[in-house]
Chain A
Amino acid sequence: MTADAPLLSVEDMSICFGRPGISTNVVDGVSFTVSPGEVVAVVGESGSGKTLTGKALMGLLPRGAGVSGGRAMFRSGKGGHCDLFRCTRRELRALRGTSISMIFQEPMSALSPLHTVGDQVEEMLRVHESISGSACKGRVLDMFGEVGFPDPERAWRAYPFELSGGLRQRAVIAMAMIANPRLVIADEPTTALDVTTQAQVLDLITRLQRDHRMAVIMITHDLGVVANMADRVVVMRRGRIMEAGPVREVLHQPGHAYTRALIEAAPHVPDTMPTRTPMPDDAIVTVRNLNKTYPGRSRSFGPPDPPVQALADFSLAVGRGETVAVVGESGSGKSTVAKLMLRAECPDPGGVMTFRGRDGVVLDIPSLKGGELDAFRRKAQMVFQDPYAALSPRMSVMDILTEPLLIHGICSRKERKDRAANLMRRVGLAPSHLGRFPHAFSGGQRQRIAIARALALQPELLVCDEPTSALDVSVQAEVLDLLEELKEEMGLSYLFISHDLAVVARLADRVAVMRRGHVVEEGPAETVFGDPRHPYTKALMAASPDPDCNQKLDLKLVAAGAGKPESWPEPFAYSGTAPPLVEVTPGHRVRRQAA
């Protein structure tokens, strides 16, 4: 934080779609300042106008949107001021990249797939500076080294699709930084990344920001990110600023009720967790030594790619009435677990996977056929991740909720309608909305409808695949509450799949942490969270940011556990075949070499 004059001062900015005066403002009277070298976080949920605010400053508003009032005074190089909203296009182009640049959310789509990464980053220099090709390349390679590419030369030649998500985002950051801008606008720069990668990228942005003394406007929905990065916060809701101030004050003594609600809804891993009842003997699902291999892509000439082992030696039991969480990052095999358990796919031969319903009949899931399979499907249902994609836009809610009953030929027309109305009430929606179509509902409401659909057949087991990751935090909290209520009420058992430890900490009785197809640690939630043993579990916990300025990310722990299995400390490291799960305390098992 510096005391000198602000680098950017936004005064009374309004943005509207359509013509000013006729349509209402989507961003209304927003004012804030950014000092040189300062990190200002703009926090808000979807629809708060935070992204539009960032884009307006770059002159990148989508078509149809325009700044309808206010000004944004930017102090350019030689002490002169200019109003970003009244620049000519040419002036604005000259500012972009060199004075103000932007880091985008989705690195894959923000980079052109047809140009090499080096080419795209270098373009920034070619557009703005007249320096020779080799000097350009030298600077880009230096920058690549600075943002942490292990091999800058190789990254230079690589195409975006050849890089991992984390490296892609590093390339986007390198592109934003290469021309030494004085202000960087980062729009949800880590939302698309895994938590451990997110921690490393956040650290990188902080380091670059300090080294180059740039100012950063950090647009995010995640208060944990704010607590770790920002000097000052601007909290937005529905286009207006609710509260603004230094990060400590806002997060620890929030003045506005909305900020308080946001902080409360933000999931975090509690320090102490209540002891849950031990797993009941009555298991609804028992899985032992299950494997799943996907064949490699075949080629018309030459040998096919090697097969991919998505799941290796997987064992898990879900007790009746229990919530078991499977946690892992992308590619860990957690979704494969869900698919196998619902018989959307069949596991490799060998291994055991049985389902035991309330009626006491034990079903061998992989070998189910015909009527037995139908009966099983009635008892095990799924809630999907994206409520926008999981509901057919062409079916009314009534059709969506009665379709499962219709397929399984249960009850009469009249009864089906009654059941649908009951389901709506149960998930907290009005039965009078049954005639509407999904587009008339918000994301949270849609997820409620998706849950109601899963409950229509009165299942015993519900598999929830990231049911809240597409939702805003406040809505997420509501949906999680609903899931917990329903569990009590209907005696459900949950298999809960998530990448987010904090979400899992709220409702899981037991947790299995997965990495590259292997369970690395499992046990009762309170022991896994209270006494994590495996470096990867520790890394995951260290990497999920808390909305608390006193608990910053511990990158040493992240680095120790987030890498390849070979890089894990002894006795956890392995290459090739994985060591077995060893029981460290009753019910708490960790994958490690036997002592």
Chain B
Amino acid sequence: MIRYLLRRTGTMLVTFMVISFLVFLIINLPPGNILTNQIAEMRASGEEASIAKAEQLIETYSLDEPVVVQYLIWVGAWPGSHGFSGLLQGDFGWSFELNRPVIDVVGEYAALTAIVNLAALIFVYLVALPLGTIAAVKANTWIDYLAGLIGYIGLATPNFLLALILLTYGARYFDLPIGGLMAREFEDQPMSWAKFQSILVHLIAPTIVIGTSGAAVIMRRLRANLMDELYKPYVETARAKGVPPVKRIIRYPLRMALNPFVADIGNLAPQLVSGSVMVSVVMSLPTLGPILLQALKAQDIFMSAFILLFVAALTLIGMLISDLLLALLDPRIRLGGRRKAA
């Protein structure tokens, strides 16, 4: 088990390195970015001071070096103009568009993104698990059809529309706050109990909006998986033992059907992050989605690279978690290498 864990973590780190390189490469592929544009402008202006500044920028960001070296400097594995200063050292780069360090811009947003997505993920599973199970066990009855209907509505409604509906009626009938992730007075304030509460209340609407379609997909999948398992011989064995129905279903077929369910955690994370851009705009959520969009449009290289990397990290962590859960749930994965006993 420990070997499995080490192996998975090792694979994850290697993957992360490859991804970071690809991200950097792709961001640098299109000719011209916010930095080179500035430099070109300075040169074109013909003023000596500007040209000198441009030279200095090139020097600072090692733009005359090959991409690989630029990458290594960015990572912090190669000495740049300021010595070793990159991701490894905790320096996430400079946003040229906003003229602030990336970490200042992104810091709280990244945390809030993680919170919103975590909440959505939990919502997805809390809704999908019972609904999917009931739909499968009571297949082709009104409960199943009702669950299916809710699921299809969840799938078919555009997220932003759902967001608008929830905001309108939530505010009217349940006194839910409109937009944002916290009340105005807490913005840029240090974390406190009142702020935490405010965030929680504000989370309700976005969680439902972002999570609904995911929940619908997962529910249908769980239903299909469970229906395949419900009539397998080992379930019949349990019936032959006289195990009561609820216990029987939870203990045997549901556990088997959970495998793909758990494996989805990793896939769901990036979907939620990228899928929530529109929602974030509509609900004015301070998450990374809109910032990423803006950074990409402005070709703000370090900014977009960092955000993409952050999303990749979320995905990888999600996958690691699902791998570990799978190993815990399924002895065939955990003990696949163990020799036959007895």
Q: Mark A56-67, 1 if CB is under 8 A from B, else 0.
A: 001010110000
CB distance from A66 to the nearest CB of B (A): 16
Contacts of B332 in A (CB 8 A): 113-114, 159, 161
B108: interface (CB < 8 Å): no
Q: Mark B1-18, 1 if CB is under 8 A from A, else 0.
A: 001000100110000000
Complex Cα–Cα for A111 and B3 (A): 28
Chain A contact residues (Cβ within 8 angstroms of B): what range? 35 or more
Q: Mark A465-483, 1 if CB is under 8 A from B, else 0.
A: 0000000000000000000
Complex Cα–Cα for A175 and B236 (A): 13
CB < 8 Å: which of B233, B330, B335 contacts A162? B335
Q: Mark B190-217, 1 if CB is under 8 A from A, else 0.
A: 0000000000000000000000000000
Complex Cα–Cα for A109 and B235 (A): 9
Contacts of B244 in A (CB 8 A): 93, 127
Task: Evaluate contact between B233 and A104: CB separation under 8 angstroms.
Answer: yes
In chain A, positions 43-64 with a C-beta closer than 8 Å to chain B are 58, 60, 62-63
CB < 8 Å: which of A128, A149, A150, A159 contacts B331? A159
Task: Evaluate contact between A110 and B236: CB separation under 8 angstroms.
Answer: yes
Task: Evaluate contact between B239 and A96: CB separation under 8 angstroms.
Answer: yes
Given contacts A62-B231, A110-B234, A301-B7, contact A158 B342 (CB under 8 A): yes
Chain B contact residues (Cβ within 8 angstroms of A): what range? 20 to 34
A368: interface (CB < 8 Å): no
Complex Cα–Cα for A94 and B242 (A): 6
Contacts of B243 in A (CB 8 A): 93, 123, 127
Complex Cα–Cα for A172 and B341 (A): 17
Complex Cα–Cα for A300 and B3 (A): 12
A313: interface (CB < 8 Å): no
Complex Cα–Cα for A78 and B166 (A): 64
CB < 8 Å: which of B234, B252, B256, B341 contacts A163? B341
Most buried by A among B244, B330, B331, B342: B342
Secondary structure of the B side of the interface? helix
B232: interface (CB < 8 Å): yes
Task: Evaluate contact between A149 and B231: CB separation under 8 angstroms.
Answer: no
A112: interface (CB < 8 Å): yes
Task: Evaluate contact between A127 and B234: CB separation under 8 angstroms.
Answer: no
Residues of B within 8 A of A (CB): 3, 7, 10-11, 231-234, 236-244, 251-252, 255-256, 329-332, 335, 337-338, 340-342
Other than the given A60-B240, A96-B240, A127-B241, 17 more pairs (CB < 8 A) read A92-B242, A93-B243, A96-B241, A102-B237, A104-B236, A110-B233, A110-B234, A112-B238, A112-B255, A114-B332, A123-B241, A124-B241, A159-B331, A159-B332, A299-B337, A300-B7, A301-B3
| Listed A/B pairs (16) with beta-carbon separation below 8 Å | A58-B239, A63-B231, A92-B242, A96-B240, A102-B237, A109-B232, A110-B233, A111-B234, A113-B234, A114-B330, A154-B342, A155-B341, A155-B342, A158-B342, A299-B337, A300-B7
For the complex of A and B, 5 pairs with smallest distance between CB atoms: A96-B242, A109-B233, A93-B242, A97-B242, A102-B240
Residues of A within 8 A of B (CB): 58, 60, 62-63, 92-98, 101-102, 104, 106, 109-116, 120, 123-124, 127-128, 149-151, 154-155, 157-159, 161-164, 167, 172, 175, 299-301
